[in-house]
Amino acid sequence: MGLLIGVVTFLLIGIFHPIIIKTEYYFGSRKPMAVFGLAGIISAVLSYFAGNLISSIILGVLACCFFWSLIELKDQEERVLKGWFEENPKRAEYYKARREEFFKTGEDKTLR
């Protein structure tokens, strides 16, 4: 059973990486945070009420992936602003404003 949980955890983490990248590209980092937060809360509640241990653990891991995604969405936006990832041309004005804000404040570690 432990191996199954490890494999599912590994797969969930691997699945969430491209989800975060695509979500930031198409929707930005701010609006989807509510969706990820709500999905995390729902997964956590379902984990608490799950009928067996394996499903409870897997739902708990899913909840943690959603909660971690809240941080990763902001970090992904920062990576885009640094030029490490492609930015969505339809959101060019947003990125331009964020860059101006970043350089005006002199931040060099984070854009939050």
pLDDT digits (tens, 9 = 90+) for 6-63: 999 999 999 999 999 999 999 999 899 999 999 999 999 999 999 999 999 999 999 9
Residue 110 lies in a domain: no
pLDDT digits (tens, 9 = 90+) for 86-101: 999 999 999 999 888 8
Residue 111 lies in a domain: no
Residue 76 lies in a domain: yes
Number of separate domains in the chain: 1
Write out the residue range of the structural domain in which residue 44 sits: 2-105
Full-model pTM? 0.85
Gap between the Cα atoms of 112 and 92, Å rounded = 18
pLDDT of residue 72: 96
pLDDT of residue 38: 98
pLDDT of residue 1: 85
